[in-house]
Amino acid sequence: MYHHYHGSGLENIVALFEQRDAYTANHSRKVATLATYIGKKCGLKRRDLRVLKNAALLHDIGKISVPESILNKKGKLSDEEFEVIKKHPVISANVIENISQLKELIPVVLYHHERLDGSGYPAGLKNDEIPLLSRILAVADVFDALTSDRAYRSALDPEVAIKVMKNMPIDRFFLMIIEENLYEIVEILKFEGERKDYGKRRVSA
d(CA 203, CA 205): 6
Choose the catalytic residue: 40, 63, 87, 196.
63
Q: Are 166 and 175 in contact (CB under 8 A)?
A: yes
In this predicted model, what pLDDT tens digit does every residue of 132-146 receive, in sequence order?
999 999 999 999 999
Q: Are 95 and 129 in contact (CB under 8 A)?
A: no
Question: Who contacts 61 (Cβ-Cβ below 8 Å, separation ≥6)?
Answer: 13, 17, 28, 91, 92, 95, 96
Residue range 177-202: mean pLDDT, rounded: 76
Q: Is 196 a catalytic residue?
A: no
For residue 117, the cross-strand partners are 126
3-state secondary structure of 131: coil
Domain holding 6: CATH number? 1.10.3210.10
Tell me what pLDDT residue 161 has. 98
Please, what is the end-to-end C-alpha distance for the chain in angstroms? Answer: 32
- What radius of gyration do the chain's Cα atoms show? 16
Of 28-32, 97-101, 119-123, highest mean pLDDT: 119-123
Biggest CA pair distance of the chain: 49
Provide the residue type at 35 as one letter: A
**HSE-CB of 178 using CA atoms within 13 angstroms:** 31
Q: Calculate ∠ Cα 149-151-153, nearest 5°.
A: 60
Query: 132, 129, 110, 113: which is closest to 121 by C-alpha?
Result: 113
The pTM for the full model equals 0.88
Report the domain count for the chain: 1
Structural domain range at position 11: 2-204
In this predicted model, what pLDDT tens digit does every residue of 60-102 receive, in sequence order?
999 888 998 998 888 889 999 999 999 999 999 998 998 888 9
Is it the case that residue 41 has pLDDT exceeding 90?
yes
Query: 137, 105, 161, 112: which is closest to 37 by C-alpha?
Result: 137
Percent of the chain with pLDDT over 90: 67
Q: Which helix (H) or strand (E) holds 118?
A: none
